[in-house]
Amino acid sequence: MDVDFVVPAAIEEVITEENAPDIRADTVLEIANGPTTYEADQVLYDSGVEVIPGILANAGGVTVSYYEWVQNRQGDYWSREEVLDRMKESMLSAYDDFRRRREERGIRGRVAAYEVAVERVVEAMEYRG
């Protein structure tokens, strides 16, 4: 059936090269770890299906865990609203960077997400010396 979203949320490698052509969705939003094989990712890209990779889609939980760590280290407390505002700002910025990279280079979403992530790690390493 035609749908707006497919959300693989539990099983690894559930979207394969064999079943990817059957997906009739505008977007695949990965919530599971590694639900799409490398080959299927290319099939989806070639079919015009937008894939929001798990590295981006699951970043909110990791980000909030980081905020908890920061608060604990500083002996601080942020309100629920402040945490959500910070997360929203961070996630929108990350999505904008992802989308911009994908569009500027004409590459698959997964590749764009990894490129942005690796650049951020390199920047952090350089900053720390």
State pLDDT tens for residues 49-104.
Answer: 999 999 999 999 999 999 999 999 999 999 999 999 999 999 999 999 999 999 99
Quick one: pLDDT at residue 79? Answer: 96
110/127 same-domain check: yes
124/79 same-domain check: yes
128/66 same-domain check: yes
Quick one: pLDDT at residue 77? Answer: 94
Per cent of the chain over pLDDT 90 is 98
77/114 same-domain check: yes
32/68 same-domain check: no
- Please provide the average confidence, as pLDDT, over all residues in the chain: 95
Examine the pLDDT at 19 and tell me if it is beyond 90. Answer: yes
Q: pTM for the whole thing? A: 0.83
Phi/psi of residue 35, each to 5°? -75, -15
Structure token digits, residue 116: 């942005």
65/47 same-domain check: no
CA angle 43, 47, 51 (to 5 degrees): 75
Other C-beta atoms closer than 10 Å to the C-beta of 110 total: 23
Is residue 46 within 8 A of residue 20, CB to CB? The reply is: no
Which domain, by its residues, includes 44?
1-52
Burial 27-60 (b: 16+ CB within 10 A, else e): ebbbebeebbbeebbebbbeeebbbbbbbbbebe
65/124 same-domain check: yes
46/81 same-domain check: no
Domain count, the chain: 2
